[in-house]
Structure formats: structure tokens, C-alpha cells
Chain A
């Protein structure tokens, strides 16, 4: 309960007016002061508002697709005495944007009356939960107000479908297990790799009979061995990475997580081991693994883990990239390669990728382009271009990904340039 101090000056004004009225022997002014006294008397006598409300919130679609617009209806019923002045502000979860109608309402409710208001949110990836409705109740003249939060639940769970039409060639760092990643190891496989001289025990099918007929010497065809890889998908989700070309566009983190989800699906289908981590103060680590249970776990992590949340972490939380890097390296299996998703708006992901690549973990950077088509954006784009050029010079593969094109196109374009 707080005093709003709305009427603070009225008493003084009334005294001045009354004084002037007496001075000039003017009954009108004294009567005007009496009017003010009436207001002050009612203010003093007014009961303090004690809102007793029942709130019901209805979310039209509790499991929408990302980008869907969902209507949220809030019904507030007064279960106490009359409330003259009631202001309601709905606690919309952080990750959801209100696109139509403010999530607010002002009403005056008699005992037993109900007010209803509705607004529309755009669904975003994640598990969103409403907890309360903020209520500010004022008395009839607004002299005192009481602010409370009325509990009212509501839930919206938005799980994108990461359908796997996207592919990105992996680098040649693999596990000893059979898979789909072509390696620089000769052996059994599909693609021609080299010819070497025959050794006892080589399978007859791999002997190069043409050459034997021509020269009389036996030679064995070596084929490129295809093996499975261990891939850790790292999404840059530091506050700096939550950037988008326009206020309504998807953030780089959102696009990164989407791409990571799609690639994870494809890689897991090919038998690779896939893990995930967030380069963020909200540390998230899912060790690489394979199998159906892991696929479900990975998807759940990408969709709902706070590390990959659609809203930036608290900027006050300390993030020391060197410590994060050290811990990440301790967790990273020796034969793992890293797919880093980052808009590369500063040097931290660049250093991370370079160091990791130098340590032998082959790094591929997928960089969603967040720069807008404005003079300032063009400058930021140039700086980003220089950073990406530095990465390429250090031997890191980089796939640039503009907002207009699907990842598959960007991946294809980049893959044509990459030599194996």
C-alpha cells in the first residue's frame, strides 16, 4: 500500500485561496476552499483498496509452430468489494513478443463483475510459462494504491520441426568407426583414392586387373574409407550474438539454433556422434552420442535449454571466454570436430575457432549474417568480413549465411569452395 501523493498540493492551495478570500472579504474564494476541503475529506475517508481477484488465462494454442500468432485471453473477476480503479498488466514471458494489442487493461469492477482482455503473441521456440498478472488498484480518488501480483498460470510450448534437408560437408577428422565422412585413409570404400603395389592378403576384388594385364604387375586399388565423425555443435549465444538485421527479423542465435537442429538431425541419421554446447554465460553441454534417445535429448536441449534461449542472458552475468574455452576443451573428445554457429560480431568466436583449430579439432564456422543494409550496417559488415577472412586464412572453414537464403544453399555455395 503506497500513497500516490496525487492530492499533495490541494490542501496548501485551499489554505492560500481561503486566506485570500478572507483578506479580500470574498465569500466565493472561501467556498472554493471548502470544495477542496470536501475532496480532502473524501480522500481521507476512502477505504483502502484490497483487490481480491480471480484470474483465468486462456492460451488459444498451447503447442504452436514458431512464428504462429497465438491469442491469449485474460479474464479477471472481482471477488471482493467494488474496485474503482484497476490497472492490469499481464506478465508476458520474456521470449514472446506481443504483436497485437497491449497485454494491459484498465477497468473499474463492481463486486462480482468481470473484465476480459486479449492480446496476440508471436510464438517463439521454447517452453514459455505465464506466472502472474500484475495488478495496481487505486481508491476512488486515487489517493492510495496497492500493487500486487495475482497468480495465474498459462503455458505455451513451441517446438520447431528440424527437418533434415540441410547438409554441410564435414571435415576429415573422424572416429575409427564406419560412417559417411570421406577420409584421407585408403581402404575399403566407394570412391577411388590411390593405387599401391599389391601386398599378400589384399582382397582379389580390389586388384587392378587392367594394370596387371598391361604391365604384368599386380597393383591394389585403394578406396577412400568412409568413417563416422564426432561433431560438437557450438552455438554462440552470448548477449552480443543476439543481433538481427531488423527489429522484427530472427536473431542470429535463433537462426543458429535452427541450423544446429537441422544439421544434428542429418548427422545423426548418418551415424555420426553429435553433441551440443552454448558459448554463453548460461553454460550448456551435451556430450556427443548417437542413437534415438540421444536424438530426442539433443532436440529437447536445443529447444528448451536456457543456454539456447531466444532471449539474451542477463548482460551482468560474467562471461570469461578463456575459462569457458578451457572447460570446453577439457570436455571435448580428442577426435571431435566443431561446428561453430556465430554471427562473428566480435573477436571472441574468432579466437575460439582459431585456437581450437590449431589444437587439431577441425573447426567449421557457420556464420549467419546479421548486418542490415544501412551505411552503419555496411561498415559492421566490412569488419565482420575481415574477421571471417582472418578465420579462412587460419585454415578454418567458413560458410556465410545471409538471411535471405536457406542454409542448404549457403552450405552448397561454401562447400563448392572448400577443398577436401
Chain B
């Protein structure tokens, strides 16, 4: 018996472009269980990144509710939402989004600056996750001195370091060659299997999606009822 960690009910979101209102998500209802590995697929503009952003609390819905780990995040203020993200969400982006002026170690340490941890504790944690992603020997390198795959592993370590409730990944293999993509997906699988992290991954790549437990498809803002289970 697993607990639902994300509960979305009748969620809608639209954007305004000039005088036009463009619906992006329409009446979405979705439940994601704790420890799940969900792949969100769909063509460009289908609303999959928007849905992930809403779950991660970096965007707000027009209507409907999103409960993540029991918290109605749509009701939180901006500062409360920022604090909530720091505690509950680990982000992995397509283009890694590392700070170019910080070393791999400093990038991983960055989310911990928001915690009350001491410098020594931060160091221990950062080194632990860098070891987990296999980059202990690269911790003093700047992003420009790392390959794409290594940068994405640093980004995963950064997503993991604060021990979040779930990890959201937006096209994490989109900018990588095949070998690096395989490594990243294997790492994501390991995080899910061994550490029990809930992962929501937006992807175009069928091979990447195949690593997830289940795949949901979005098209023109509507969630397909069919749940593709990979087990």
C-alpha cells in the first residue's frame, strides 16, 4: 500500500498573450504515489512542463487544487512557497542550470545555504551526494571544465543534497549524448530504487521514459486517461 504524494484535482492553467488567453492545461486530475517514477510525455506545447512546474510550485494554477505531501501549495504565499520548494523539491533541468562561477562542490552546496546546517555539515552532505553521483574527483572543477553528462550529474547531486520529498526533472537527457543520457537515467533509476525518491520526469525521449514506472501522455493540455505501466 503506497501513499499518494501528489494529488491534483481539476487543475487548469492558461497564459495570456496580448488579448488572447491560451489554455495550456484543462481540467487535469492526477495522483502520484510516494516512491513513484513518472514520465510525462507529449508533443511540444502540450503542457507537460507547465504541469511539472505547477507540481514543483514554481507556477500557480488558475483553478483546481494541488496537494503535495499533504500541503495545498496553491494556497501558499510566495515566500512560503520558496521555503516549501527548498525543503521538498529537487530540480534537474535540461541545460543543467549550474552557476558557472561556482565549483561543482559549491553548486551542490548552494541549496544547503538555505538551511541551518553548519559549514562542516554542509561539507559532509555535499561530499556524500557528489560521491553518490561519482564526481568526488571533480568537485573543485567549474561547470565549464566538466562534460555535459558530468554537469548533469552535478545538477542531480544539487537536487538531492537537501533530501527533498521528490525530484522533478525537465528533459534531463535532452542535451546529452547517448552514453551520458544512459548514465543519467541509470542514476535516476538508482535514486528511485535505492533511495526511494519520487521522480517526475518530463521527456520527449521514449528510451528515457522507458526507465519510469509509468508514463502519462499530455496532448493540447489534456491528460490521456491511459496509464502506461512499465513494470
Indicate whether A and B interact: no
Interface residues of B (CB under 8 A from A): none
